[in-house]
Structure 1
C-alpha cells in the first residue's frame, strides 16, 4: 500500500461514488470525491499529492472527464476510466488512451486497479 494514499474519485452517480469511496477506505486510502470537473480539479489543486484517480467518462450537463484527465497527465498522476457509456464516448476513450473498466464493476476491483497503477508511479517519484 502507498503511504498517505489519496485517490481522486470522479463520478456523477452518488451510489457508485459512495461504493468507490468505501472501497478506497477499506484499502486505507483517503478518498477525494467529486461529481463534476470543477470539484475534481479543485481537489487536485488543493491536495497537491493525489496518488491516483478513477474517472467516470460521461458526467452531468454534457461534461466529460477530459479536463481532469489532462491535468492528471500533466502532473504524471495515473488514472483509470470507469464508464458504462462506451458506445457514445469512443472518441474520448481513444483520445485518453487509459485503462478502462466498464460499468458495472466491483468497486474494490476498480480501486485496486487504480492503486496498482499508483504503486509504480510512487516508486518512480521516490527515486
Structure 2
C-alpha cells in the first residue's frame, strides 16, 4: 500500500540511460510510504526493487498477482469497491508486523515452488 511509484517514461530515442536512471530514482524516492517496492513505467511495464534479489522477486510476484486480480475484477463489468485508506493502511501494517509474511520466508517458499515446477513435480495448473 502506497509503495508503488509511477513515472511517465520518455521515448527511448529521447532518453539516455542516465536520464532514465534519474527518473526512476526520483520516482522511487517520492512514494507516500517508503521504501518503494515497485515502479510502473507508463507504457513500458514495471520493475520492482528490494534490499535483496529475493525481495525484488517477491515484490514482482505480488505485483503481477494483484494486477491480474484487478484486471479480472474490471472484466466482470461490476462495480468494484476500493477498500478505504484506513483498511489499506491496517492491512499494510499487519503485513509488516507479522513474521509469517516476512519476505525472506516468502522468497524461500517461492524458490522451492518454482524449483518443483521446473522439475515437473507440481502441476502448472491447480484444480480444486
Higher relative contact order (CA 8 A, sep 6+): 1
Q: TM-score, normalised by structure 2?
A: 0.31
Q: Which structure is larger by alpha-carbon Rg, 1 or 2?
A: 2
Query: What TM-score results when the alignment is normalised by the length of structure 1?
Result: 0.31
Higher-strand-fraction structure: 1
